[in-house]
Amino acid sequence: MKFKNLLSALALTVLAGGLTVCATEITPEGQRLAETLDSMHVERLWLAGHQVNWRTGEPTGKAFADKAGHTHCSAFAAAAAEKLGIYLLHPPEHSATLLANAQEDWLRSSGAMQGWHAVVSPIQARELANEGELVIVICKNPDKTRPGHVAIVRPSLWSDQKVLLEGPEITQAGLINHTSTSTKEGFKNHPGAFENGQLMYFAHAISWSKLEQLDTAADRSAQ
């Protein structure tokens, strides 16, 4: 959900009062989410300019036919979701080209049927991530011929003030991959997206017990 007016009002209130409000604590589930994101090593995989396996981020060895700065934000987001037992639109259901734009359309139209729900503010996005839900921040490019961008909100102890001014802490692939950066920094190559409230947040609960069962079954089959 767009939050431009809410963001502006809260930011002014915080700045005027000099108030710094701390985040709630990161739950054990939130810590597991952070560890899962860290384990994907996004800063050395899903690298811009390389054709990659969307699930692993490993380069395929194939070259792009053009010189455009191809990035893999949407592939990384989909791979992280799959690792957590969640479906987010991905190849081959949609080409890797302009996938972030298609993911926002899909989240708006079909996401609820797959367990996704809209998040009303960046602070709620941080809180849900802290509780161990998968939260993404996404922006569809107004120019349908150009890519949008998507990132994953990290569990974080950033203050409310920092989140209002810079957006939640995120993990992303892009022109520069970051295990940790701000939403404002991560979306800086999409002028106006952060400042003009064009970002949307969506969240999905993670079944950690189901993931544990799958891990246990995998370990037994490997023995």
Tally of domains within the chain:
1
CATH of the domain at 162: 3.90.1720.10
In the predicted structure, residue 58 carries a pLDDT above the cut 80? yes
What percent of the chain lies above the pLDDT cut of 90?
A: 75
107 is a domain residue: yes
CA distance 106 to 104: 5
pLDDT band at 149 (very low <50, low <70, confident <90, very high): very high
pTM of the model: 0.87
On whether residue 63 sits in a domain, the answer given is no
Containing structural domain, residue 161? 4-58+68-222
The DSSP code sequence of the chain is: ---HHHHHHHHHHHHHHT---PPPPPPHHHHHHHHHHHHT-TTTSS-TTS-B-TTT--B-SPPPSS-S----HHHHHHHHHHHTT-----TTTS-STTHHHHHHHHHHHTGGGGT-EEES-HHHHHHHHHTT-EEEEEE--SSTTS--EEEEEPP----HHHHHHH--EEEE-SSS-EEEEEHHHHTTTSTTTTTTT--EEEEE---HHHHHHHHHHHHHHH-
In this prediction, residue 140 carries a pLDDT of 96
Q: Tens of pLDDT along 157-201?
A: 999 999 999 999 999 999 999 999 999 999 999 999 999 989 999
Binned at pLDDT 50, 70 and 90, residue 214 comes out as confident
Is residue 113, in this structure, part of any structural domain at all?
yes
pLDDT (tens digit, 9 = 90+) per residue, 70-114? 899 999 999 999 999 999 999 999 999 999 999 999 999 999 999
